[in-house]
């Protein structure tokens, strides 16, 4: 089975930066499409960003476009979410997800594997 281990969450001031990491094991990383999702208290888990199997295509939620960047390093079996210019509304538990598919999805239900989540808290 695929295992995802996340790190990098924490407390950050509004306007600051944070980088989340997700290390993947159990499958050939280059054959997995990846996604980041987040869930704020009392809200549904929502799409943040995706990165395709080949790493050639990315997508972002409108709320984070221009501020967050998803990337992958196949040599390290790791996907990253670089968060710049964070806002209080970015406060949430962030989840890394994977699916053995050429194309990623923005839909939570399409992902087969999930990390444990890492808390990001943005102070105002």
Q: Tens digit of pLDDT for each residue in 76-107?
A: 999 999 999 999 999 999 999 999 888 889 99
**pLDDT at 113 > cutoff 90:** yes
Share of the chain above pLDDT 90, in %: 80
Give pLDDT, residue 52: 87
**C-alpha to C-alpha distance for 116 and 122, rounded to whole angstroms:** 20
pLDDT 10s digits, 3-48: 999 999 999 999 999 999 999 998 677 788 999 999 999 999 999 9
DSSP 8-state class, residue 60: E
Q: Are strands 92-99 and 78-83 parallel, antiparallel or unpaired?
A: unpaired
Chain Cα centroid distance, residue 33: 11
Residue with tokens 């998803």: 70
**C-alpha to C-alpha distance for 124 and 118, rounded to whole angstroms:** 20
């Amino acid at each position: 089975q695929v295992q995802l281990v996340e790190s990098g969450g924490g407390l950050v001031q509004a306007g600051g930066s944070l980088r989340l990491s997700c290390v993947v094991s159990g499958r050939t990383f280059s054959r997995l499409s990846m996604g980041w999702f987040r869930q704020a208290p009392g809200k549904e888990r929502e799409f943040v960003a995706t990165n395709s199997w080949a790493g050639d295509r990315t997508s972002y939620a409108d709320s984070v476009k221009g501020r967050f960047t998803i990337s992958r390093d196949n040599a390290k079996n790791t996907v990253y979410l670089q968060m710049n210019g964070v806002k209080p509304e970015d406060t949430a538990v962030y989840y890394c997800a994977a699916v053995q598919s050429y194309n990623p999805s923005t839909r939570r239900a399409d992902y087969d594997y999930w990390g444990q989540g890492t808390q990001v808290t943005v102070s105002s």
